[in-house]
Amino acid sequence: MCTSLIYLDASGKAYFGRTLELTSDLPYQLVYFPKGLAFSSEIEGHPALTYDSKFAVLAVTMPGRIPTADAPLGFADLKVLEGMNDQGLTFSLLSYPTAGGPHAAVEATQAVLSASDLGTWALGQFSTVAEVKTALEEQPVLLEALTLLGGVESPFHYVVHDASGASFVIEFNKGQMTTYDNPVGVMTNGPEFSWHLTNMDNYTFLNNVDKSNATFGSYRATQPDSGIATAGLPGSNTSVGRFVRAAYYAQYAEKATEPDTAVMTLAHVMNNFDRPRGISIDYPSEGGGHLEVAGLSQESSETYATEYTCWTNLSDLDRKRFYLRTYRSLNYASFDMTALAEMRGVCVLPVSHLDGLSGDASETLKQAKAT
């Protein structure tokens, strides 16, 4: 589940794409956070970390807790899974089951950032990958037990990109946080990111040039079709296989000369990671029947689990446009952050409301003001 990549056009402008796969739809909310909002991140045993947003943010979110009559959800309860700010910085959360473990000690008097709030913290305050990297050198980040996942520590890792095409990974592995510059601009799931980079050393033979003729003894072999160049790509939908394929497609997809063509090219690239229901299934009796995100339960009425692409996002980091397609759509709804800049309040739109929509939906989001 989850594949992300950066694509550069002919002039070096950056575009970002990602898919999210689970075995069921969750209550995703598309949220516009205007600049100037006050946030607070809290970890038990430490003072709250407070920060104000300098930039507007558009993001796909999930509630961080179950609302009650006495404590309805506020905008700070909506945790960013995927987002972009008005500076062209993106933040992405991807599944990473082995994130949890013993944490490094942090003085009780020091304010720490919950990993669940990394999205609003990064997108609300910074405009480049370099700024996020510098800030993390001084800001401790800790995982927290998530009530909605039955107390499992945040089973995710994170990737940040900016309009220059720079890419940066924030990864907890067995409780220990490590950060990496990401030279391939690709992210999937486990194993740890450094393993994926080492694995790329096994694919130095890849290129996009079809070798359609060869001689074996006196026999002249001729390939009757195009596409033999991709024969060496891994074919599975595992995290390992998707990482290699994503790196290949990001590298070799033709470099578009116009922004709209670049977005269309990126959409074609991401179609290679779009997964229909039933393509692979897991039975509970064989150790499957669960979601890769620890703590989420399988519906008792379902005899098997099948991951599918719940939604796909494209982001134009130069023009600040955000595109979203749900499983029940073949086309993308688009959102122009320049057009949203006039909004002074938080806007919340259930992602399910985008089913079947295509084209500019900025006005639809504007009308969905949070109550």
What's the pLDDT tens digit per position in 161-217?
Answer: 999 999 999 999 999 999 999 999 999 999 999 999 999 999 999 999 999 999 999
| Beta carbons within 8 Å of 230's beta carbon, 6+ residues apart | 208, 248
DSSP 137-156: TTS-EE--EEGGGTTEE--E
Query: Both tokens of residue 150?
Result: 């039955």
Please tell me the least confidently modeled range out of 103-112, 156-165, 354-363.
103-112
Q: Are 347 and 321 in contact (CB under 8 A)?
A: no
Closest CA to 313 of 270, 255, 249, 361: 270
The predicted structure's pLDDT at residue 300: 63
Query: Both tokens of residue 156?
Result: 């995710």
Query: Both tokens of residue 183?
Result: 């030279």
| Beta carbons within 8 Å of 261's beta carbon, 6+ residues apart | none
Q: Which residue has the higher pLDDT, 7 or 69?
A: 7
Distance between CA 95 and CA 81 in Å, rounded? 10
| Beta carbons within 8 Å of 289's beta carbon, 6+ residues apart | 282, 283, 298, 304, 305
Q: Are 61 and 81 in contact (CB under 8 A)?
A: yes
The predicted structure's pLDDT at residue 169: 98
3-state helix, strand, coil in the chain (%, to 5): 25, 30, 45
SS3 89: coil
Query: Both tokens of residue 291?
Result: 């979601």
Mean of per-residue pLDDT scores for the chain: 93
Q: Which residue has the higher pLDDT, 104 or 12?
A: 12
The predicted structure's pLDDT at residue 367: 93
Distance between CA 154 and CA 130 in Å, rounded? 25
pLDDT at 286 exceeding the cut of 80: no
pLDDT at 257 exceeding the cut of 90: yes
**β-sheet bridge partners, residue 178:** 171
Distance between CA 95 and CA 157 in Å, rounded? 6
Tens of pLDDT along 124-152?
999 999 999 999 999 999 998 887 777 78
pLDDT at 292 exceeding the cut of 70: no
Element (H, E) at 319: none
**Mean pLDDT on 210-233:** 97
Element (H, E) at 135: helix 129-136
**Mean pLDDT on 287-293:** 57
The predicted structure's pLDDT at residue 297: 61
The predicted structure's pLDDT at residue 296: 64
The predicted structure's pLDDT at residue 151: 74
pLDDT at 305 exceeding the cut of 90: no
User: Within its chain, how far is the Cα of 268 from the centroid?
Assistant: 17
Tens of pLDDT along 31-50?
999 999 999 999 988 999 99
- Phi (first) and psi of residue 181, to 5 degrees: -70, 145
**Mean pLDDT on 109-120:** 93
pLDDT at 298 exceeding the cut of 70: no
**β-sheet bridge partners, residue 177:** 172
Confidence bin at 105 (pLDDT 50/70/90): confident
